[in-house]
Structure 1
Amino acid sequence: MAETRPGGRTARTREAVHAAVRAMWAEGRDPLSVREVSARSGVHEVTIYRRWKTVEALALDVAVTRMNEESPFPDSGDLRRDLLDWVRSVADRVGTPEGFAFYRALAAATSARGAGQGPATEEAAVHLRRRTEQIQRVLDRAAAAGAPRLTVEHVFDVVLAPVYLRAIFGYAAPGSDLEALVDRVLDTP
């Protein structure tokens, strides 16, 4: 995929479309349609389809961009505190309409990966891979300093999965018992 310039029309278009999607998610509008995004952003539908191919690919691009720009994984050197700060942030976001739409977009897009969703989906997959690699580097540094050796997959399974399931099924508040989840993953041999 060709590199896009950091400024110019392409950047302005992407910014307008992203802002429209995020505003609609904040209003609880999910799922979205390209027609609605076009009307809200002022960007023609053809341009949106040409850049993202599907509304799912667009949602994934918005979700991954937001995650990478606004929610870096903490790296203070105190793994327990970093995990708690991170999972609290996730639990707080998933409890909002925009946050829930964000996670729906990630789930939908990752299940559609490889199904010909187009360059935006592949680009977002690259960003997700970078994100998991970044988290793994933090976990590896913590292990080198004496913390338990953890994998991103294990942290996701033990810490994040319960938060998402609580948000989806509503059997408990997404932010309940977060310290217990973090302690459980840290106590894993």
Structure 2
Amino acid sequence: MTTASSPAPRRRPGGRTARTRASVHDAVRKLLATGRTDLTVREVAELSGVHEVTIYRRWGSIETLVLDVATAKLNEEAPFPDTGDLRTDLLIWAKAVASQLQRGDGYAFFKALAAAASPAFGTPPEHARLHAGDYLQSRAAEIQHALDRDAEKGGTPPTVDMVLDVILAPLYLRALWGYAPHSEVEVLVDRALAAARPH
């Protein structure tokens, strides 16, 4: 019995919610690592041991879940570099993206993200904009921070949209259409940097 002088029970960090998220995320990663992209909540539930109702209540849809997992994976495995030089940062990042797209699990994540976040794959436009925005928000903030640092040093960096359009989009487009990821990422990076300079 707890008395006024007894210390309050200490809650374990994270607790059940953290364990549930970890189990579900692990299940999604394992399924995508097989090359599958058409996942269902039912098979995630079976593999994770977390009830379907809980997954729907927490994430709402398989698309939202995949995007949540991808965002976590992105932040854990490929943080945007901070070398102090914008061109070097962009090169390291672009090469990491190209490398990920060459791996089976990386390409599977990309295809699953495309299906979850793009109207081209049947996702309603409003739904696609919402979740694509969620996914890109953390990475866009990191890129913006790097661009701001360069501007503070007197540089003329591109905008985040230019970085995504000129560097990231060609890599993803090549992966989507079955081409090998762009081997000359320097060309893409230099093109984005040149486009931002006054002519």
**TM value normalised by structure 2:** 0.81
The reply on whether 1:65 has 2:59 as its aligned counterpart is no
Higher relative contact order (CA 8 A, sep 6+): 1
For the residues of structure 1 that align with 2:170 and 2:54, how far apart are their CA atoms? 38
Q: Specify the SS of the correspondent of 2:26.
A: helix
Do the aligned partners of 1:63 and 1:105 also contact (CA within 8 Å) in 2?
no
For the residues of structure 2 that align with 1:75 and 1:104, how far apart are their CA atoms? 28
For the residues of structure 1 that align with 2:50 and 2:36, how far apart are their CA atoms? 18
Q: CA distance change for structure 1 residues 53 and 94 in 2, over 3 Å: closer, same or farther? A: same
Q: CA distance change for structure 1 residues 78 and 176 in 2, over 3 Å: closer, same or farther? A: same
Q: What is the RMSD computed on CA atoms of the aligned residues?
A: 2.3
Identity of matched residues, %: 56
For the residues of structure 2 that align with 1:96 and 1:109, how far apart are their CA atoms? 20
For structure 2, the residue ranges without an aligned partner over 5 or more in a row are: 1-11
Q: Equivalent residue for 1:169?
A: 177
**TM value normalised by structure 1:** 0.85
Q: Equivalent residue for 1:52?
A: 59
1:155 to 152, 163, 167: 163
For structure 1, the residue ranges without an aligned partner over 5 or more in a row are: none
Range moving further from structure 2, 50-59 or 5-14:
5-14
Do the aligned partners of 2:116 and 2:128 also contact (CA within 8 Å) in 1?
no
Greater CA radius of gyration, 1 or 2? 2
Q: Equivalent residue for 2:7?
A: none
